């Protein structure tokens, strides 16, 4: 053991004792609803491939044809020759889909948030953030050096108090997930836009889990709430979840996007997204828009799951999105329940602190259009059996 190992090992041992140690496991994804682990094929409720597009033949064909045409890697940053026609076409298509003037592609959602927040806020500015926002938004705020004020989850009164008492000088950003990634609930967007308007703030929405899933044509939580660019001037979306590919974008006015092009460090100082992925994403966008049956099927699964799990000793958090968290409480109990499901051939990961607050460890059940009604019934039956015995 090196000196470094000796210094690091006690922390791992401590996490192990608390059943909080994270472990990687290789899994072959068969599709959004099933995985193959070393021991067996598993029915999976762990994927963010909400529409079941990640293994779609048309996306795979577009990826291969795109690679043949434009190469696998882009070879350079966007501003240094890495920006291909297909990136441009995808940005324009995403902007139109989001109902915005323009959009800018980022390597992934984490990078998009770091770059976008850092470009919009700095020293002397204030960021008002929901306490349950995704980690990338927290990190983005910290890295930006703006003052970070976190309001209790979806607590509009708390947010308003902070907006009133925080210094009025500088820029003010209200930042929220559209759909909260660990709870599955939708942000109170209409009320947030109202507070932003009254208190001179800009609303920034990270719609990683709403895009493709909610709203007309899958245009996300903001469109579902009937809000436009004036109300939500900054919209972030990811391409690795409902779109089934990889990457992210920020959409807004042309001036916003041009500002990001000058200032977003995670856009400027990094290799452009592989063009083959941009080709696949254009195909994914056609599927997202043109195949509403996928969203319909998802809604049916959500209703069936919630009806099936009513009355169990564990609480299903209120959510009508494909993220359906089953609150267990202790980390130990959550892991035990996850393992018991796994012994029955069903994979639902336990999510523990620090990803979620202490005492709220849960099974994060995610549904996909790749599931069948029978898959959902199987999960319900297994959980009911485990509850009764
Ligand atoms: N924002 C939210 C709300 C997310 O849930 C995630 C992914 N878990 C991200 C951003 C990061 O996106 P990506 O996986 O594309 O980096």
- Examine residue 307 and state whether it is found in any structural domain, yes or no: yes
Q: Do residue 303 and residue 346 come from a single domain?
A: yes
Residue to substitute in 106, 181, 236 for testing ligand 1 pocket (most ligand atoms within 8 angstroms of CB): 181
pLDDT band at 24 (very low <50, low <70, confident <90, very high): confident
Give the 3-state secondary structure of the chain: CCHHHHHHHHHHHHHHHCCCCCCCCCCEEEECCEEECCCCEEEECCCCCCCCCCCCHHHHHHHHHHHHHHCCCCCCEHHHCCCCHHHHHHHHHHHHHHCCCEEEEECCHHHHHHHHHHHHCCCCCEEEEECCCCHHHHHHHHHHCCEEEEECCCCHHHHHHHHHHCCCCCCEEEEEECECCCCCCECCHHHHHHHHHHCCCEEEEECCCCCCCCCHHHCCHHHHCCCCCCCCCEEEEECCCCCCCCCEEEEECHHHHHHHHHHCHHHHCCECCCHHHHHHHHHHHHHHHHCCHHHHHHHHHHHHHHHHHCCCCCEECCCCCCEEEEEEECHHHHHHHHHHHHHCCEECCEECCCCCCCCCEEEEEECCCCCCHHHHHHHHHHHHHHHHC
Q: Which of 267, 290, 313 is the last residue of a domain?
A: 290
Q: Which atom of ligand 1 is nearest to the CA of 178?
A: 3
237 pocket-lining for ligand 1 (C-beta < 6 Å): no
136 pocket-lining for ligand 1 (C-beta < 6 Å): yes
Q: Provide mean pLDDT across the span 35-58.
A: 92
CA 384 to chain centre: 29
Q: Do residue 318 and residue 192 come from a single domain?
A: no
For residue 208, the CA-to-ligand 1 centroid distance in Å is 6
pLDDT higher than 80, residue 38? no
Q: Provide mean pLDDT across the span 134-161.
A: 98
Q: Residue 25 has which token pair?
A: 């496991």
364 pocket-lining for ligand 1 (C-beta < 6 Å): no
pLDDT higher than 80, residue 107? yes
Q: Do residue 334 and residue 195 come from a single domain?
A: no
Q: Which atom of ligand 1 is nearest to the CA of 238?
A: 15
Q: Do residue 81 and residue 149 come from a single domain?
A: yes
Contact yes or no for 29/347 (Cβ under 8 A): no
Work out how many domains the chain is built from and give that number: 2
**CA distances (Å), 257 to each of 122, 197, 274, in order?**
18, 21, 20
Closest C-alpha to ligand 1, atom 15: 109
For residue 269, the CA-to-ligand 1 centroid distance in Å is 20
Is 164 noted as a catalytic residue in this protein?
no
Q: Provide mean pLDDT across the span 182-201.
A: 97
pLDDT higher than 90, residue 120? yes
pTM: 0.96
Q: What is the CATH number of the domain that holds 196?
A: 3.40.640.10
For residue 323, the CA-to-ligand 1 centroid distance in Å is 14
ω into 354 cis (within 30 of 0) = yes
For residue 11, the CA-to-ligand 1 centroid distance in Å is 27
Look over the chain and give the mean of its residue pLDDT values, rounded to a whole number.
96
pLDDT (0 to 100) of residue 254: 98
- Examine residue 4 and state whether it is found in any structural domain, yes or no: no
Q: Do residue 213 and residue 233 come from a single domain?
A: yes
Closest C-alpha to ligand 1, atom 13: 109
206 pocket-lining for ligand 1 (C-beta < 6 Å): yes
pLDDT (0 to 100) of residue 117: 98
Q: Which residue has the higher pLDDT, 35 or 2?
A: 2
Q: What is the CATH number of the domain that holds 314?
A: 3.90.1150.10
% of residues, the chain, pLDDT over 90: 91
pLDDT (0 to 100) of residue 372: 96
- 287-337 pLDDT per residue, tens: 999 999 999 999 999 999 999 999 898 989 999 999 999 999 999 999 999
Q: Do residue 273 and residue 341 come from a single domain?
A: no
Is 47 noted as a catalytic residue in this protein?
no
Q: Provide mean pLDDT across the span 246-259.
A: 98
Q: Is the ipTM of this complex over 0.90?
A: yes
pLDDT (0 to 100) of residue 27: 85
Q: Which domain holds residue 339?
A: 15-51+292-388
Q: Which of 290, 323, 342 is the last residue of a domain?
A: 290
- Examine residue 358 and state whether it is found in any structural domain, yes or no: yes
238 pocket-lining for ligand 1 (C-beta < 6 Å): yes
Contact yes or no for 207/223 (Cβ under 8 A): no
- Examine residue 1 and state whether it is found in any structural domain, yes or no: no
Q: Which of 290, 323, 354 is the last residue of a domain?
A: 290
Q: Do residue 155 and residue 82 come from a single domain?
A: yes
Q: Do residue 32 and residue 73 come from a single domain?
A: no
Q: Provide mean pLDDT across the span 269-277.
A: 97
For residue 108, the CA-to-ligand 1 centroid distance in Å is 8
For residue 138, the CA-to-ligand 1 centroid distance in Å is 12
pLDDT (0 to 100) of residue 19: 83
Q: Which residue among the candidates 44, 181, 221, 368 is catalytic per the annotation? A: 181
Q: Do residue 155 and residue 282 come from a single domain?
A: yes
Residue for token digits 């696949």? 280
Q: Do residue 105 and residue 31 come from a single domain?
A: no
pLDDT band at 37 (very low <50, low <70, confident <90, very high): confident
pLDDT higher than 90, residue 266? yes
Q: Which residue among the candidates 134, 241, 301, 371 is catalytic per the annotation? A: 241
Q: Provide mean pLDDT across the span 66-95.
A: 97
Q: Do residue 159 and residue 45 come from a single domain?
A: no
Closest C-alpha to ligand 1, atom 10: 109
- 207-230 pLDDT per residue, tens: 999 999 999 999 999 999 999 999
pLDDT (0 to 100) of residue 241: 98
130 pocket-lining for ligand 1 (C-beta < 6 Å): no
pLDDT (0 to 100) of residue 50: 97
- Examine residue 6 and state whether it is found in any structural domain, yes or no: no
Q: Which residue among the candidates 78, 87, 134, 209 is catalytic per the annotation? A: 209
Q: Do residue 271 and residue 131 come from a single domain?
A: yes
Is 209 noted as a catalytic residue in this protein?
yes
Closest C-alpha to ligand 1, atom 9: 109
pLDDT (0 to 100) of residue 20: 85
């Amino acid at each position: 053991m090196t000196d470094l190992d000796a210094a690091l090992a006690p922390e791992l041992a401590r996490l192990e004792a608390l059943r909080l140690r994270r472990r990687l496991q290789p899994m072959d994804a068969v599709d959004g609803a099933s995985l193959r682990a070393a021991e067996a094929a598993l029915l999976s409720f762990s994927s963010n491939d909400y529409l079941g597009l990640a293994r779609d033949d048309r996306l795979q064909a577009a990826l291969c044809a795109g690679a043949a045409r434009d190469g696998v890697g882009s070879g350079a940053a966007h501003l240094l020759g890495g920006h291909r026609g297909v990136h441009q076409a995808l940005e324009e298509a995403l902007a139109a889909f989001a109902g915005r003037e323009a959009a800018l592609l980022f390597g992934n959602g984490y990078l998009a948030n770091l770059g976008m927040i850092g470009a919009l806020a700095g020293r002397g500015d204030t960021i008002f953030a929901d306490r349950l926002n995704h980690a990338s938004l927290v990190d983005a705020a910290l890295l930006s050096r703006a003052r970070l004020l976190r309001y209790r989850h979806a607590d509009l009164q708390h947010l308003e108090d902070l907006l009133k008492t925080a210094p009025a000088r500088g820029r003010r950003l209200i930042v929220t997930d559209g759909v909260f990634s660990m709870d599955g609930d939708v942000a109170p967007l209409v009320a947030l836009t109202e507070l932003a308007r009254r208190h001179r703030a800009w609303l920034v929405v990270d719609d990683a889990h709403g895009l493709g899933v909610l709203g007309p044509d899958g245009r996300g939580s903001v469109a579902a709430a009937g809000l436009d660019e004036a109300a939500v001037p900054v919209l972030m979306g990811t391409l690795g979840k409902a779109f089934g590919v990889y990457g992210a974008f920020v959409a807004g006015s042309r001036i916003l996007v041009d500002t990001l092009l000058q200032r977003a460090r995670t856009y400027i100082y990094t290799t452009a997204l592989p063009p083959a992925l941009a080709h696949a994403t254009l195909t994914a966008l056609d599927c997202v828009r043109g195949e509403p049956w996928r969203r319909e099927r998802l809604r049916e699964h959500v209703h069936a799951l919630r009806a099936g799990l009513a009355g169990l000793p564990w609480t299903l958090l209120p959510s009508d999105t494909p993220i359906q968290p089953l609150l267990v409480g202790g980390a130990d109990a959550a892991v035990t329940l996850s393992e018991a499901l796994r012994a029955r051939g069903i994979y639902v990961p336990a999510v523990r602190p620090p990803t979620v607050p202490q005492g709220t460890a849960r099974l994060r059940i995610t549904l996909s259009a790749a599931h069948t009604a029978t898959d959902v019934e199987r999960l319900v039956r297994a959980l009911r059996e485990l509850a009764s015995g």
